[in-house]
Amino acid sequence: MAAGFDDGKDPSALRTIGEVADGLGIKQHVLRYWEKQFPMLRPLQRSGNRRYYRPDDVALVQTIHRLVNREGYTLRGARQAIEHGHVGEVADAEAPKPAPETAPGAAASPDILAALKSVRNRLAAALDG
């Protein structure tokens, strides 16, 4: 559930938006924005619009945070992944694999080389001028 928390509270306890923000390192205004972008994220709201996050809400925030900030999803993509159940607890197997690096001296596309040379020349001209 609230794996990122070591606040001494019972794991099933409600948490305020401040506690969730501090525990996960996310700003409160970002959490409020996510509530608008993710219809399934609905913490309890009591008098004075105080938000109380249930354990399931905290787990959902952790998932959104992982998808957006570690795996590079857009908010729309993260929402769709969550809605369609394409989100696992362990994301390492689902994370996109980095493109293999080209060894130095390996053949590159002539178009890419021409573009890179053009950029290099423009940068050199800007520094000289």
Q: Which domains does the chain have, with CATH numbers?
A: 15-83 (1.10.1660.10)
3-state secondary structure of 15: strand
* Tokens matching residue 58: 């905290």
Q: What is the pTM of this model?
A: 0.64
Which residue blocks in 4-109 are alpha helix, DSSP H?
17-24, 28-37, 55-65, 75-83
Single-letter residue type at 41: L
121, pLDDT greater than 60: yes
CB-based contacts of 11, cutoff 8 Å, min separation 6: 1, 2, 55
pLDDT for 66 equals 93
Average of pLDDT values for 41-63? 92
